[in-house]
């Protein structure tokens, strides 16, 4: 069962403004990244189902976080089928992200009260997600489908749309301000926030500094609105 309620999870994401996106096959690396995210000022992590054994690493991360770092809100990413959705929800994930929209995954998440944030690239897909009960969608791949101007264009006729852009978002004040000005409540960031080179060398202090800098950039970007 999720350790954080649906409204609490979404409120945390909106308040912090950044959802870190991460995968590594080494459970110890995943734990250390989680620890450094929290120390740097973020409390969520979208651990993606990208590689062999990813769900097992996710399960380890969930158990460890409950025991050692309960303030870390762990969610699952790249969940594209209902069987995987049900499995990760049984593990206790607090949210489910996906690169695409699935009515079947939406039904599983809705039945368990877990936020489902599907990837959408058109207004038709976004409307379909809302019709399936989603409260927010993932704009993906955000940088390739028009950037902040695309989100602004969508929100002109549909100002109720909440979309978290992922893909092409930079951890800079200018990039974040453009997305926040377009109406994004938060953004998703992977390697731009958690560079593979730093993770690979175990430069955890540099990872923490990257997170701290991104948090500061969010604050500055929001102050410009």
Query: pTM for the whole thing?
Result: 0.96
**Comparing C-alpha atoms, which of 113, 116, 147 is closest to residue 131?**
116
**To the nearest whole number, what is the mean pLDDT of the chain?**
97
Residue range 39-71, pLDDT digits in tens? 999 999 999 999 889 999 999 999 999 999 999
| Contact partners, residue 161, CB within 8 Å, separation at least 6 | 126, 130, 137, 154, 155, 183
Report helix angle 204-223 to 173-182, nearest 10. Answer: 50
- Whole-angstrom distance, CA of residue 165 vs CA of residue 119: 9
Predicted confidence band at 173 (pLDDT cuts at 50, 70, 90)? very high
- Tell me, what's the pLDDT at 158? 96
Domain map (residue ranges) of the chain:
6-223
| Fold (CATH) for 6-223 | TIM Barrel (3.20.20)
Each residue's pLDDT tens digit, 85-117: 999 999 999 999 999 999 999 999 999 999 999
Judged against a pLDDT cut of 90, whether residue 188 lies above it is answered with: yes
pLDDT at residue 225 is higher than 80 = no
**SS3 annotation, 103-141:** HHHHHHHHHHCCCEECEECCHHHHHHHHHCCCCCEEECC
pLDDT at 2 over 90: no
């Amino acid at each position: 069962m999720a350790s954080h309620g649906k409204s609490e999870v979404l409120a945390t994401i909106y308040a912090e403004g950044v959802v870190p996106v991460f995968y590594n096959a080494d459970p110890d690396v995943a734990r250390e990244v989680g620890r450094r995210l929290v120390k740097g000022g973020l409390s969520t992590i979208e651990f993606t189902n990208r590689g062999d054994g990813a769900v097992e690493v996710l399960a380890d991360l969930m158990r460890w976080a409950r025991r050692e770092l309960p303030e870390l809100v762990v969610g699952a990413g790249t969940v594209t089928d209902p069987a995987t959705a049900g499995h990760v929800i049984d593990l206790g994930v607090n949210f489910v992200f996906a690169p695409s929209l699935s009515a079947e995954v939406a039904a599983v998440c809705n039945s368990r009260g877990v936020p489902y944030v599907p990837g959408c690239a058109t207004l038709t897909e976004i409307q379909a997600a809302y019709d399936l009960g989603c409260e927010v969608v993932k704009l993906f791949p955000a940088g390739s489908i028009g950037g902040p101007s695309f989100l602004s264009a969508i929100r002109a006729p549909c100002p109720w749309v909440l979309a978290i852009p992922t893909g092409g978002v930079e951890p800079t004040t200018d990039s974040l301000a453009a997305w926040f000005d377009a109406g994004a409540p938060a953004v998703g960031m992977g390697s731009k926030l958690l560079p593979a080179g730093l993770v690979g060398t175990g430069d955890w202090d540099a990872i923490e500094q990257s997170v701290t800098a991104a948090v500061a950039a969010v604050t500055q970007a929001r102050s410009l609105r």
